[in-house]
Amino acid sequence: MFSPFLERVRTRAPLVHAITNYVTVNDCANALLACGASPIMADDPGEVAEITQGCGGLVLNLGTLHQHTIPAMVSAGQTANTLGHPVVLDPVGVGASALRTDTAHMLLETVAFSVIRGNISEVKALALGRGCAHGVDASGADAEDPLEETIALARAFARHTGAVVAVTGATDVVADASHAYCIRNGHPFLSRVTGTGCMLSALIGAYVSASPGQVLEATAAAVCAMGVCGELAFARMTPQDGNGSYQTYLLDALCTLTGENLEENADYEVR
C-alpha cells in the first residue's frame, strides 16, 4: 500500500527546497537524491521566494536556527502556501531555547504547514508548551509516554494546526485529525547517527511533493520507508562497523529500496 508513494517520487522526481541546518544538510541533500527527488538548499531572504517558486515542496528545519534566516523561512513558507506547494516543518530542538520555541510558534501562525515532524519532546513542547528535551533528542521520560497518549496528542495537534503530525520514536505515529498510522519499523541505531530525523523530514518533503493530494498516506509512507531503511542498514553491519558505516548504509538503503522491499518489511496499523 505504501509502494505507489515511493514509485511516484522516483517518477516525478520532485525538486524540494530546504531551509535547513548546517549540521546535517549534506545528508538531507543526499537523502533526497537517494529517494529519487532533487534538492536545492537556499536560505538568503533575497532569493528564497524565487527559489521555492521553481520547486515542488519546501522543508523548514530549525536546527542551528539563525535570526537572519527566520525572515527567509516566512517568505519561502508564504510563497509555497500561495502556490499550493506542501510545506514541512521540522522543529528541531524546540523547547531547548526561547528562540526556537518562539520561532516555531510564529511560523505556525504565519505559514500553513502540510506536515509537522518531530520527536515526542519536540511535539509536546510545541503542542503543550512543555516536554523535556535532552538537547535535540527526546528525553527518556517523554519517550515512555504510552502510545495511546501520543496518538491523542498527535491527533489534537493535527486538528489544531491543520497539518499532518508525525511523532517519531520507537513507534512512529503519523496522524491527521481522524486517523493515525502507528509504524513499528526502524532501529535504535538510527539515533546513533546525527541527522536521521532531518533526513526523514526531507524525505517527507519529497513524498508529499510527489503525492500532494494524499498528505497523510504519503507522510506515513516516508516514515515507514525510513524505518525499513534503518533496518536494512543495520542488517549490513559487521562487528567493526559503527555509526560511520551505518550512515553510509542508510543512504544506500534509501537509494536501493524497492517498492517490494517496502511492502514486505512495512509493519504498521491504522487506528
Burial profile 107-132: b = 16 or more Cβ within 10 angstroms, e = fewer: bbeebebbbbbbbbbbbbbbbeeebe
The single residue among 78, 81, 243, 265 that binds a copy of itself, judged by CB under 8 A, is 243
What's the CA gap between 105 and 19, in Å, rounded? 17
107 lies in the site for a copy of itself, by CB under 8 A: no
First to last CA, the chain: 16
CB neighbours of residue 271 within 10 Å: 12
Site string for a copy of itself, 174-203 (x = CB under 8 A): ------------------xxxx--------
The single residue among 5, 113, 249, 268 that binds a copy of itself, judged by CB under 8 A, is 249
258 lies in the site for a copy of itself, by CB under 8 A: no
- In the bound state with a copy of itself, the residue whose beta carbon lies nearer, of 78 and 245, is 245
* Helix/strand/coil percentages in the chain, nearest 5: 55, 15, 30
- In the bound state with a copy of itself, the residue whose beta carbon lies nearer, of 50 and 264, is 50
244 lies in the site for a copy of itself, by CB under 8 A: yes
Q: Are strands 57-61 and 38-41 parallel, antiparallel or unpaired?
A: unpaired
Enter the C-alpha cell of residue 197. 530525523
Residues in 19-38 at the binding interface with a copy of itself, rule: CB under 8 A: 21-27, 29-30, 33-34, 38
- In the bound state with a copy of itself, the residue whose beta carbon lies nearer, of 214 and 245, is 245
The single residue among 6, 9, 55, 158 that binds a copy of itself, judged by CB under 8 A, is 55
